[in-house]
Structures are given as structure tokens and as C-alpha cells.
Amino acid sequence: MNNVVVVGASLAGFRAVEELRHQGYDGAITVIGAEPHLPYDRPPLSKQILSGSWETDRLPLTPIGKDVADLDVSWRLGVAASGLDLGARQVDLADGSHVSFDALVIACGAGVRTLPGQPELAGLHTLRTLDDCLALRADLDATPRRVVVVGAGFIGAEVAATARQRGLDVTLLEALATPLQRALGDAMGAVCADIHRDHGIDLRLSTGVDGFDDDGHGRLTGIRLSDGTTIEADVAVVGVGVAPNTGWLEGSGLTIDNGVVCDETCLAAPDVVAAGDIARWPNGLFDEVMRVEHWENAQQQGAHVARRLLGHLDAYRPVPWFWSDQYDRKIQLAGRSSADDEVQVVDGSIEERRFVALYGRAGRLVGVLGMNRPRPVMEYRQLIAAGTSWEDALAR
């Protein structure tokens, strides 16, 4: 292997490059990135950068103890990969050029979903990239009165919290009966709902969007709701989830099914690996084919696939983990959780909003949710990795 191409200049791709060099690979590396920027961190986009407490110079990803230049990468930024010819070992780019490889890392992440028929209007935003964030921040700076966030998933909830902390009037719309219902279940979703209400958010649950109103000159003025009412809005953010960026891989021969499907080592085809938000692989620890949209996974899986290309054959079996910051609450979830799991608070209390809740399924501990309780989350995470039974976890 002497010529590695990475598609996606973000966290998973960056960590793959870093690990290749760390492991002593000294061949060529080309990174292709659709955005014009060198790799940067996304979590602050809904938190510190959006609030204005950080400037963008804190975002770039850097290798530990080194400069980016030390990685000796040929960057092809601002141009998307548009096709893959596996037989010829070649990536086609949107500018008509081609890049050949003898090993390929697919790390092109996920892009935002939009609502059916969602128009392009000034004041109407989505949030995935630095440019999205700066456009939204500029609109929030322009003293809007009314901000509406559509979708109370983690990104929507964080944007609502940040806008509220900037002193703006915020309405948060959610089509389901509680925020984060699919991720956390009803009981824990209800806790999150109360937190938003206590901070003065106008939270409207079981409420969908029928359409958007504008002033006739392309600027958003309001949102029509499924209950027949309309709310006025100067700025709106649609946060209804993401979809893996697989379009350019259609017809390539790779298996595409809600992501790039890999084996348990993250190999998608000979000398082709996938990592981060784009990758779907069987995680033997959970007996589940999963795709994970969290920062830590992108980082770890990026490093894992680098080692995979260098001949390490270990299965990738992490206990996924993520955090979300909303107001002064730090929410962390390790493992898997779903609306159908058994849920039990084992430490602290919901009233104090400082607690640990466990998720059990089929007699096994599968997840742990902590609110302002980071250390127990990490302890239970180890128990999840060890395959601890639900009974034993509760008996601790």
C-alpha cells in the first residue's frame, strides 16, 4: 500500500490520516473534502460558536503534538467526490478530475435532512457545517425577535438552548410526544421537555410543520403548523436529523443501505474501509448492525480503519458514547437506548436533574444516561462492555 485516498475532510478522515502516520505509514495520502475548509470540529457549532463565546480559530483539528503540515497530506478541498470505480481503483471528482488509489477510506459523513418541500428562504436554516453556523449566527446577531427550531433532537435542542441563552424568544417544535423520544424513551424525554420549559422555551409537542410563509421577497415570516395555526418567525432552524452522504457511491458495487455497509472490521470491499457517520457495521457487542452519529465514534473508527488498512484484523466493538450540552446540563449517553427499553434511575433524582438512568433490554444492561453525572456513566459503560446482566447492574 503506497497511495491512500480519504474521501471526507472531517473528524473520521482526519483521525484515519493521523493514525496511518502514527503507525508508520509513509506513502502518499490524498484527502478529498467537499467543504473548502481543513478539518474542524462540529460540536461547538451548536454551542460555543453559535453563542458567540468562541471564535472559529478554536475549531481546526490538529494532530496531537504536531502541526497539520507534519501529516504530509495532499488536500483536495472544495471539491466533492462524485463517483467510485472500484475495478479501476479510482475516485471521480465533481470538477471532472480523477484520483487513483490503492486503498480508500470513505469518511464522508452525513448531511442534513430537510422537510418535504422545504423552500430556500432568507432566515430559514439548517446546521451541519461551519458555513451553516456562521450564517445562522449572523442572523441571530441581527436582533431577531422570534426564533423557531423545528425538531427537538440533540442538535435542535442545543440550538434552542443556545438561542434562548442569547436572550431570544424561542419556540421549539417536535412532531413526537416528547423531545428525544426515539433516543431516550418517554420518561427521559419528558425530563428534557421540562428543562426547556423551565428556561422559557415555548415547547410544542406532537406538532408538525405544514409550510413556511415569506414576505414575497424571499424572507421567512412564519411557519404553518399541523394544528392549523401559524407562528411568526424571523429565524427558523430545521433540525430533523441527518442522512449518510452515499449518493456518490450509488452503482459503485459497494453495499449501500443507510450508510456504507462494512464487515465487523469496517472493511467495505478489498482495501476499502468506511468510518464515522457514514459507516454501518455489525457491532458484535450489541448483536446489531449499527451506524453511529457521534463525535467519539468518528474519532475511534477513523483510527480503527487506518489500522485495518495496515493489516490489523480486530473487530470494531465499541460501546458508543456521546454528550450534549443544554443550558447548564451535560447529558451523556453510553451504549444503546430505545423507546422500548426498561429504564430505571439508579443514582440522584430526576427532580434535581442530576441523575443516572440505566437502560435494560432482554435481561442485559445496554445503555446508561447521565445528567451532570459523568463519572458513573463511564463506570456503567464498562459494565455494558463486559456484557453485565440487567439484574447485576441494578444490584450494584
Ligand X SMILES: Cc1cc2nc3c(=O)[nH]c(=O)nc-3n(C[C@H](O)[C@H](O)[C@H](O)COP(=O)(O)OP(=O)(O)OC[C@H]3O[C@@H](n4cnc5c(N)ncnc54)[C@H](O)[C@@H]3O)c2cc1C
Q: To the nearest whole angstrom, how small is the minimum distance from the Cβ of residue 390 to ligand X?
A: 25
Beta strands in 270-372 (DSSP E): 272-274, 279-283, 288-290, 321-326, 329-335, 342-349, 354-361, 364-371
Stretch that binds ligand X, among 11-19, 52-60, 371-379, 384-392 (CB under 6 A): 11-19
Nearer to ligand X, 293 or 341 (CB): 293
Q: To the nearest whole angstrom, how small is the minimum distance from the Cβ of residue 34 to ligand X?
A: 4
**Total residues interacting with ligand X, rule: CB under 6 A:** 37
Q: To the nearest whole angstrom, how small is the minimum distance from the Cβ of residue 109 to ligand X?
A: 2
Residue 248 lies near ligand X (rule: CB under 6 A) = yes
List residues bridging with 5 in a β-sheet: 30, 104
Q: To the nearest whole angstrom, how small is the minimum distance from the Cβ of residue 224 to ligand X?
A: 26
Q: To the nearest whole angstrom, how small is the minimum distance from the Cβ of residue 247 to ligand X?
A: 7
> Using CB under 6 A, which residues numbered 100 to 119 contact ligand X?
107-110
Q: To the nearest whole angstrom, how small is the minimum distance from the Cβ of residue 117 to ligand X?
A: 23
Give the number of other CB atoms < 10 A from CB of residue 198: 10
- The values of phi and psi at residue 248, to 5°, are -70, -10
Element of type H or E holding 202: strand 202-204
Q: To the nearest whole angstrom, how small is the minimum distance from the Cβ of residue 350 to ligand X?
A: 22
Smallest Cα–Cα separation from 25: which of 103, 108, 107?
Answer: 103
Tell how far CA 231 is from the center of its chain: 29
> Using CB under 6 A, which residues numbered 76 to 105 contact ligand X?
80-81
Treating both helix axes as pointing N-terminal to C-terminal, what angle do 181-198 and 154-165 enclose, rounded to 10 degrees?
A: 10
How far is the CA of 276 from the CAs of 110, 291, 365, in angstroms? 9, 8, 25
The answer to whether 124 touches 238, Cβ cutoff 8 Å, is yes
- x-or-dash string of contact with ligand X, 15-54, rule CB under 6 A: -----------------xxxx------xx-xx--------
> Using CB under 6 A, which residues numbered 170 to 229 contact ligand X?
none
Among 61, 155, 192, 201, binds ligand X (CB under 6 A): 155
Residue 7 lies near ligand X (rule: CB under 6 A) = yes
Residue 259 lies near ligand X (rule: CB under 6 A) = no
CA distance 250 to 118: 25
Nearer to ligand X, 9 or 192 (CB): 9
Residue 269 lies near ligand X (rule: CB under 6 A) = no
Nearer to ligand X, 150 or 225 (CB): 150
Among 181, 324, 326, 332, binds ligand X (CB under 6 A): 324
DSSP SS3 for 133: helix
Sequence-separated (6 or more) residues with CB below 8 Å from residue 89: 100, 101, 102, 104, 271
Nearer to ligand X, 84 or 225 (CB): 84
Q: To the nearest whole angstrom, how small is the minimum distance from the Cβ of residue 179 to ligand X?
A: 15
Nearer to ligand X, 174 or 325 (CB): 325
Nearer to ligand X, 162 or 178 (CB): 162
CA distance 360 to 341: 6
CA distance 49 to 68: 22
CA distance 183 to 332: 12
Smallest Cα–Cα separation from 40: which of 132, 130, 135, 159?
Answer: 130
Nearer to ligand X, 11 or 309 (CB): 11
Nearer to ligand X, 9 or 195 (CB): 9
CA distance 166 to 189: 24
Nearer to ligand X, 222 or 367 (CB): 367
- The values of phi and psi at residue 2, to 5°, are -140, 0
Nearer to ligand X, 196 or 364 (CB): 196
- The values of phi and psi at residue 322, to 5°, are -150, 165
Q: To the nearest whole angstrom, how small is the minimum distance from the Cβ of residue 302 to ligand X?
A: 7
Residue 293 lies near ligand X (rule: CB under 6 A) = yes
CA distance 39 to 57: 12
**Residues near ligand X (CB under 6 A):** 7-13, 32-35, 42-43, 45-46, 80-81, 107-110, 127-128, 155, 245, 248, 276-278, 293-296, 298, 322-324
